[in-house]
A and B are shown apart, each in its own frame.
Chain A
């Protein structure tokens, strides 16, 4: 396996995961961290390979997807570690509020079951610092969202890189 080929996605995915755990930065940059990381991974790949060729759509989407996937793995790992050591997390802390909110919506059996699952998850986290339901919840949501946002960033990175190629060629 040529690790050099995947180095930009690993570096940028890891950086995105680190940035997402810093509260202030997350508040500031909202949904731009993972797409931004994908843009940077495309740029970094170009720098590493010293290439001046146009980036193809398939490669850009692939790079974005991989960056999102790497970010997901590290984000989930950091989140699980923090939950394990603190025996708490955002979901556990906001559970009473969420429960009240759901009760206000006055829904039927499905809502009751949903609250039951959330409560058992919170109990597991408070006693063991780990819950499979929580792991499944954050892993599935992170995989879906970060992969899609990574691909969006990949296409954006492709467009920005190819724009520079055009300008370079014009200058020549």
Chain B
């Protein structure tokens, strides 16, 4: 059953969702910054490359390109972060009470795990599209699962009523 949050805008839950969306968007802008025409982002290119190297192998053959420039993370990681940002935007504009269950997390993780295993054993060649789509499903499910846990903790703190 879908429960709606009333009031929703300008409550603590709304600002939490907004914060996640803004942070996610900033992270995405950073990883596609080689493709953006801004002097500041280009001048900190080595620092950004180093920063994103802590979370990704940055193998160029597995990375999306725009012209000559490659993103700072691989196709799978791009999918994971894009999934998190897309779902954070959708959940921000929907006023529903989030109830994302563990079984959905498992279910949506299967495509990425299968892709990693099947590609690693050599059943098929690496595909950026498959990696990014499976990553997108995984990223959105992990994000929604984590957000559900945080929101649930906030509801509990407020005895399920004070916030609304």
Query: B-contacting residues of A (Cβ < 8 Å)?
Result: 26-28, 30-31, 56-57, 75, 90-91, 98, 101-102, 104-105, 107-108, 110-111, 113-114, 118, 137-138, 141-142, 144-146, 149, 152, 155-156, 158-160, 162-163
Contact = CB atoms under 8 A, between A and B. Distances in A.
Given A56-B153, A105-B42, A111-B42, A30 B47 contact: no
Tell me if A's interface is mostly helix, strand, loop or mixed. helix
Given A31-B80, A152-B146, A156-B145, 13 more contacts: A57-B154, A75-B54, A91-B50, A98-B46, A101-B69, A105-B34, A105-B42, A105-B45, A105-B69, A114-B45, A137-B50, A156-B149, A159-B149
Interface residues of B, number: 35
Contacts of B50: 91, 137-138, 141
A22 to B, nearest CB: 12
Given A91-B50, A156-B145, A102 B45 contact: yes
Given A57-B153, A101-B69, A159-B145, A31 B55 contact: yes
Interface of B: 34, 39-40, 42-47, 49-51, 53-57, 59, 68-69, 74, 76-77, 80, 102, 116, 120, 142, 145-146, 148-150, 153-154
